[in-house]
Amino acid sequence: MSKKIAGAVRAIIEPAVTELGYDLVDVEYRREAMGYVLTVYIDKRGGVTLDDCERVSVALDPLLDAHDPVTGSYYLSVSSPGLDRPLKNDADLQRHLGKMVDVRLYKPVERCKIFVGTLLAFDE
């Protein structure tokens, strides 16, 4: 259910986030101690500031209220994905070309599960 809600929210907000000049990195919907939380992760070249998060939050609030993709109450949180975030799509990989990354595997390759190096290229 959480992934379905996150997907619906993504479809609603992605055009608005892009229009504001940010990349929509991820959307999560989960239950926490304080209740349900909808977290929107944004990024932009040069990094994300607190003012950026506030700007996006103010823009998304009425949009989410109008489309109402989440039943019940929830907290809206807009955040940067952080330094140790997983790279999930081509835009993430493109943004990290030339940077140090670590790759963590489920099954070891030559007895190793973690590889560290510079991301030089990627393909589908």
Give per-residue pLDDT as tens, 59-118: 999 999 999 888 889 999 999 988 777 888 888 888 888 888 888 899 999 999 999 999
- Please report the pLDDT score of residue 81 as a whole number: 87
Q: What are the sequence ranges of the domains in the chain?
A: 2-79, 86-124
Tell me how far apart the alpha carbons of residues 30 and 19 are, in angstroms, rounded to a whole number: 26
> Residue 102 to residues 21, 42, 44, 45, 113: CA-CA distances in angstroms?
28, 21, 21, 21, 10
Tell me how far apart the alpha carbons of residues 48 and 55 are, in angstroms, rounded to a whole number: 11
Sign of CA dihedral 22, 17, 48, 105: negative
- Please report the pLDDT score of residue 24 as a whole number: 93
pLDDT digits (tens, 9 = 90+) for 16-73: 999 999 999 999 999 999 899 999 999 998 889 999 999 999 999 999 999 988 888 9
On whether the 2-79 domain is CATH 3.40.50.150, my answer is: no
